[in-house]
Chain A
Amino acid sequence: MRLLARNRTAALASAPEIGRIGVEAEDVTYGIAGRNLVDGVSLTVRHGEIVAVLGPNGAGKSTLLGLLTGDLTPHHGTVRIADRALADYSQRDLALRRGVLPQSVTLSFPFTVDEVVRMGRAPHAGLPSDESEDTIVARCLAETDVAHLADRVYPSLSGGERARVSLARVLAQGAPVLFLDEPTAALDLKHTEDVLRLARDRARRGDAVVIVLHDLNLAAAYADRIALLARGRLVGCGPPEEVCTAPVLTELYGHPVDVLRRPGTDELLILPSR
């Protein structure tokens, strides 16, 4: 048992090999009541990159994320994390490989922020670690700018604070594959940028990051690749400059879209025509 645990951490330590496949969906289909919410999607996300999933409401973004994280089991196709099918993982091994930030987190009981972030360390219980739990928790609290809230009770926080605390919990989990479902929905401008910078930083250090976003400009600015979903199907996947073109986005959203460049740079500016 102890030997096994050691092997597992050894594998984890060497995990962030940039360029290795982090999560891979192969022709996955998932439907409810005869209607396919996700339809034959294949997607590969490698360590070291951020892939943003975009699409209009009801395109199947959350369903796809659910399939990738193992919350949902595809009716057809397979999802692999680190070359292993999700079905072959125990809950705990999976928790050591992938972290998930859901859209909103409500707590049944008034745990403190510190306690919530510590929950992120649960999968590591009994495993050897280079850093103490206190150090990791303190670092994650600082990274998400919530260290000053450590003693506060989670239900007493504002929406933006909760989102950052939840992110701190996911970071504390230390999994090399990250799934973030609209992490910036509740955040102001500064914290939005901060969180995406943090995600990009994690990717640069070898994590594979999948983010569901609504904001095209954020996706274009921070994602290495963008996956466009429409009616459950993948209609485009590639670097922002390739995918985010006026005709593609206009058709995707059913609303005319202009794609400009920020003056003096080649940064994309994506705006609905008005």
Chain B
Amino acid sequence: MPARPALAHEQREGTGETVATVTERQEPADEPHSLPPVVELAKTTTPVPPAASTTAATPVTAAPRRHGRWLMPTLLLLLLVTSIVSAGMGAFDIPSDQVLSSALRHLGLDVGHVSQANEAVLWNIRFPRIVLGIMVGACLGCAGAAMQGVFGNPLAEPGVIGVSSGAALGAVGAIVLGVSTFGSWTVTAFAFAGGLLTTLFVYLLSRADGRTEVVTLVLTGIAINALAGAAIGLFTFVADDAELRSITFWNLGSVGGASWKIIGALAPFALVGLLILPRYARALDIMALGERGARHLGVDTERVRIVVVVLSATLVGAAVAAAGVITFVGLVVPHIIRLIAGPRHRLLLPASAVLGALVTVGADLAARTIAMPKEVPLGVLTALIGAPFFLWLLRRTRSRQGGWA
């Protein structure tokens, strides 16, 4: 609150503090105008009791925010705890202090003794798996939030609208056709291209007048998923045994095949998307007004759209390339964040990345421990939790808006 108008007003009015603050807020005292005092709606009504108007005005200065401030620290802490717990659990348990010691030792801090066997399990199996889970989850959560923002529709999600299966189709195609154009990057590159093409395709098909209607979006998703499913089925039909195993992996989704090499291949894609997307947070907020409304406020909607769609597809493509199709993370996660902290993308995008990581690491822990020694595919587990959530969301959207259109 700048001092100048307040002072000017106090001199003029000299009334009690409460009243002075209120009038000062309502009247644009520092706008020079020789004309009679500005017409104000609040003033033309019956005199507002000072108490009522102070309460009305306070939230403006004390920026209203849900629980935004504590969200990121809490999520990061939970992610750390879950990761440590997850690293300790499995076919044979490793105490948490040993997990910590082992991790710290690689950071150059020698604390406590860790057995050779534990060390091997942690660094060859568990840590890569957790790191991959974090990266894949972060990609999916952030991409989900960004896609919902740019589609202007809270139901947009890579899995639902078919981007994940498009990416899986790219990967499966590369495996079965034995393409090796890009060496060890081939499958990743194809998954990425598949994801990007499908995103653009869905985007072009489902939008009308700068918005995406829920029905159109979901139906487009059904069609794309069916199409990709059929193509994957065809590839499955002609695949040999080894290829079949890879294909199953892409379809069900798992971070079980994690290795430092895969993580290294995923990292550049993930970082590009996760670091650049938050720069479009403000533009995505304004896009909630619709394309035309955003343009009225100076947003170059064309550019924002293309950049955000390409970056989200990059994230999804990279995640699918590394871990197969893991559905619903990108749907559920941004929703939970919005419920807790509101829809502002400045917080939504990074928080969705962290919660996505948390959910994926947690789900993977469940996937490999609930049916030990067998492993439930991660994608199956997320779908099992995510699909009912999606149904609930559909119902809620319908009852809120009186329809899906």
Interface residues of A (CB under 8 A from B): 69-71, 90-96, 99-100, 102, 105-112, 114-115, 119-120, 122-123, 125, 130-132, 134-135, 137-139, 141-145, 147-148, 150-151, 155, 164, 173, 190-191, 194-195, 197-198, 200-201, 204-205
Contact = CB atoms under 8 A, between A and B. Distances in A.
20 contacts: A71-B295, A90-B300, A92-B298, A109-B343, A115-B344, A122-B298, A125-B282, A132-B2, A134-B63, A135-B25, A139-B27, A139-B28, A142-B40, A145-B41, A145-B42, A147-B53, A150-B59, A190-B45, A205-B35, A205-B38
Contacts of B52: 148
Interface stretch (B221-229, B235-243, B285-293, B359-367): B285-293
A110 B338 contact: yes
Given A134-B1, A141-B60, A91 B295 contact: yes
B286 A122 contact: yes
Contact of A71 (B28, B211, B287, B292): B292
Contacts of B282: 122, 125
B216 to A, nearest CB: 14
A39 B27 CA distance: 43
Nearest to A142: B26
B342 A112 contact: yes
B286 A119 contact: yes
B106 interface: no
B297 A120 contact: yes
Given A119-B286, A142-B40, A91 B63 contact: no
A198 B41 contact: yes
B147 to A, nearest CB: 12
A236 B300 CA distance: 36
A198 B1 CA distance: 24
Highest count of chain A CB atoms <10 Å: which of B55, B60, B292, B295: B60
A109 B33 CA distance: 38
A139 B57 CA distance: 10
B374 interface: no
Contact of B56 (A100, A125, A147): A147
A73 B343 CA distance: 33
A112 B63 CA distance: 11
Given A107-B289, A137-B60, A204-B35, A173 B41 contact: no
Contacts, number: 146
Given A108-B153, A150-B60, A194 B41 contact: yes
B285 A111 contact: yes
Interface in B338-359: 338, 342-344
Given A130-B30, A131-B30, A91 B299 contact: yes
Given A109-B154, A150-B59, A197-B39, A135 B288 contact: no
B44 interface: yes
Contacts of A201: 38-39
Contact of A138 (B25, B45, B152, B285): B25
A164 B42 CA distance: 12
Contacts of B286: 119, 122
Interface in B1-51: 1-2, 5, 25-28, 30-31, 33, 35, 38-42, 44-45
A173 B289 CA distance: 14
Given A111-B344, A204-B35, A148 B56 contact: yes
Contacts of B373: none
A114 B59 contact: yes
A96 B298 contact: yes
The 6 A-B pairs at the shortest CB distance, nearest first, are namely A95-B298, A145-B41, A109-B343, A92-B298, A142-B26, A148-B56
A119 B25 contact: no
B154 A123 contact: no
Given A71-B295, A150-B56, A205-B33, A108 B41 contact: no
A131 B72 CA distance: 31
A244 B55 CA distance: 46
Given A95-B296, A123-B298, A131-B2, A145 B30 contact: no
Contacts of B298: 90-96, 122-123
Contacts of B33: 205
Given A71-B295, A105-B289, A134 B28 contact: no
